[in-house]
Amino acid sequence: MNDILIQLAKKAADEWKGDQAYHQASELIYLLIEDIEKQNTPPANPPLTLDELRDAMEQGTAVYIAKPSGETIMIEQTYAPCVLDTTWVAGIDKPQIVAIYGRNLSFAESEYGITWLAYRHNPGRESEK
């Protein structure tokens, strides 16, 4: 619906732009189009930093994980919701983050950015806000 509205508004604004009587209306239409397009833009969803990942874990927030290569994590699933926890690793003096998906699949902090990335929401759903 918004796409059709934007298309029609742009056409009207372009036609009125050169007409002195409608110039102000044309400018107003451009401002409204800009506002509508901003509302249609999905929120930024860059991969989380390790600090952001730790914050999410402390807050008990689930994250979505994906492989940087774009490969599937499970059958036909490129992104997976995970819970975060910590585990102790030999030779490291602080607990390490682990992303857990189901009983048999987990992703270690030491591999973050190499074999997996975490996101606040599903990167595969651009409409999710």
The predicted-structure confidence for 61-109, as pLDDT tens digits, reads as follows 889 998 888 888 777 778 888 889 898 988 888 889 998 887 778 889 9
Characterize the bridge pairing of strands 79-87 and 117-119.
unpaired
Within a 10 A sphere around the Cβ of 89, how many other Cβ atoms?
A: 14
**Is the whole-model pTM more than 0.75?**
no
Bin 37: left if φ > 0, else alpha if -120 < ψ < 50, else beta.
alpha
Query: What is the rounded average pLDDT for all residues in the chain?
Result: 81
In angstroms, the CA 13 to CA 30 distance is: 7
